[in-house]
Amino acid sequence: MNKTVDINERTLEKEKKNFIEFCKAAEGVLSVFLAIMIIGAIALVIVMIMDNVIKNASVPSDSEYTTAEGIFNGIVGLGMLIGYSIAVNFGVKVFKKLKDGETPFRYEIADKIKAAGMTLFGTGFFAIAAGIMEGFFAFEDTSVRIDLDIFIWGALIIAIAYIFNYGCKLQQESDETI
């Protein structure tokens, strides 16, 4: 009996160590991805500003950001980057909390996961509003394009948050019965 307990404890410790290593790696990857998105957003703003400075200086420019449609598309792209960056930042915070080795089923983690999903939903609604505005301004293409993938990802992440919430309740019940 004692030998079985030792094997189970070693397996649990190994799984915990592997989980912590995964969380560290995931936090690092998401942090790099977040930095790249922030740099991309800053670069987009700089390109938009520089293109319009060049246009106002009467220098010929073929840039897409010198027309009303180009500026609008740049602003929409920037808004989408900001939304994705906020969602990824919540992911970084989740893995930062998870790598401490405590139980993953904590309400603070479930709340951050839910916030990431809700941010994706908000970004999706922003994209729909931008598509409607694009049709209203009657740029080249007046059809409104709605991408549902961001809503599907948002719903999936929110479902994971509710699973974590349920795990929190089970963890709390387990702690109270011991």
| pLDDT (tens digit per residue) in 74-132 | 888 899 999 999 999 999 999 999 999 888 999 999 999 999 999 999 999 998 888 88
CA distance 135 to 124: 17
pTM of the model: 0.81
Place of tokens 């549902």: 148
pLDDT at 24: 95
Write the pLDDT tens digit of every residue in 53-67: 776 655 555 566 677
Q: What is the largest CA-CA distance in the chain?
A: 85
Residues 113 and 80 sit within 8 Å (Cβ to Cβ): no
Q: What is the DSSP string of 157-170?
A: HHHHHHHHHHHHHH
CA distance 73 to 150: 18
Write the pLDDT tens digit of every residue in 104-118: 999 999 999 999 999
Residues 110 and 165 sit within 8 Å (Cβ to Cβ): yes
Instruction: State mean pLDDT over 28-53.
Output: 90
Q: Which residues contact 11 (CB under 8 A, 6 or more apart)?
A: none
Per-domain boundaries in the chain: 2-49+75-177
